[in-house]
């Protein structure tokens, strides 16, 4: 098997495929009456891979957010920085998406802009059943509601993409961009529609064979455990609510 094809398979094994992404919106022909169950606030799972130092970034962002809140309180003469607000249908507009897949068909997500919320994602099929390997849809469960994403176009493009592989360093990277659509909203996001351009970026470093006829060569087999790996999903788009 050629290194590029084997590397692509390795990428899929590591969860490097849009099905693990966090974004997905619906097809026009799909039913939007699928029932949804409100879930308890999602607790972020502990980090499992020390080679992806996203926790430090999260902490810095959290500290920055607190600093902004405190500053706002001072500028407003001591008014509470986090005043209670009665939920209402969002006005719609531009959004930015930031997601981290976990390699098991799920992940965490933060959306800013017209949707200011966070939660988790789950790859599903057209019937709403969890399907981490072949699902072309993603259920986004946020604190104020849910919606779904049709990621078929993104998945198809990612499945055809070949990672850029460096044999000298046994490192590889893959990046794809394609649109997804949003639909089937519940809670605060009932009536949601929109399109988001999603970019998926993945990188990993593979080990070398330590014995046998391939000793010293990069191990691109599906059983190889990468020394380090990175993945991110970001997007820009616009949403509206009917």
| Local confidence band at 89 (pLDDT 50, 70, 90 cut-offs) | confident
- CA–CA separation, 185 and 191 (whole Å): 6
- Could you state, in order of their start, the residue ranges of all structural domains in the chain? 3-28+89-241
- CA–CA separation, 195 and 38 (whole Å): 24
Return the closest-CA partner of residue 123 out of 11, 235, 21.
21
Q: pLDDT tens, 98-145?
A: 999 987 889 999 999 999 999 999 999 999 999 998 999 999 999 999
Q: Please check whether residue 112 is in contact with residue 125, taking contact to mean a CB–CB distance below 8 angstroms.
A: no
- CA–CA separation, 188 and 110 (whole Å): 16
Q: pLDDT tens, 205-232?
A: 999 999 999 999 999 998 899 999 999 9
Q: Token pair of 91, please?
A: 């006005």
| Residues pairing with 150 in the sheet | 137, 181
pLDDT at 90: 86
Q: pLDDT tens, 40-75?
A: 444 444 444 434 443 433 333 344 443 434 334 333
Our measurement of the distance from residue 117's CA atom to the centroid of its chain's CA atoms, rounded to an integer in Å, reads 14
| Residues pairing with 108 in the sheet | 100, 120
pTM of the shown model: 0.65
137 burial (CB, 10 Å; 0-12 / 13-18 / 19+) is buried
pLDDT at 88: 78
């Amino acid at each position: 098997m050629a290194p590029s094809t084997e590397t692509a398979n390795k990428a899929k094994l590591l969860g490097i495929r849009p099905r693990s992404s966090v974004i997905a919106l619906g097809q026009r022909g799909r039913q939007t009456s699928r029932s949804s169950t409100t879930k308890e606030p999602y607790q972020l799972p502990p980090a499992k891979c020390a080679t992806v130092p996203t926790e430090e970034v999260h902490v810095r962002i959290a500290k920055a957010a607190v600093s902004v809140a405190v500053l706002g309180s001072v500028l407003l003469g001591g008014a509470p920085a986090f005043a209670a607000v009665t939920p209402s249908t969002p006005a719609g507009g531009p959004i930015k998406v930031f997601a981290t897949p976990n390699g098991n068909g799920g992940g965490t997500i933060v959306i800013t802009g017209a949707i200011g919320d966070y939660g988790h994602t789950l790859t599903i099929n057209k019937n709403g059943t969890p399907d981490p390997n072949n699902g072309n849809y993603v259920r986004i469960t946020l604190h104020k509601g849910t919606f779904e994403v049709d990621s078929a176009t993104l998945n198809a493009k990612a499945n055809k993409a070949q990672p850029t592989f460096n044999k000298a360093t046994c490192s590889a990277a893959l990046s794809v961009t394609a649109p997804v659509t949003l639909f089937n909203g519940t809670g605060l996001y009932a009536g949601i529609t929109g399109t988001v351009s999603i970019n998926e970026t993945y990188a990993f470093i593979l080990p070398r064979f330590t014995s046998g006829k391939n000793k010293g060569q990069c191990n691109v087999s599906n059983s190889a455990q990468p020394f380090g790996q990175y993945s991110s999903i970001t997007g820009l788009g616009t949403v509206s609510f009917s």
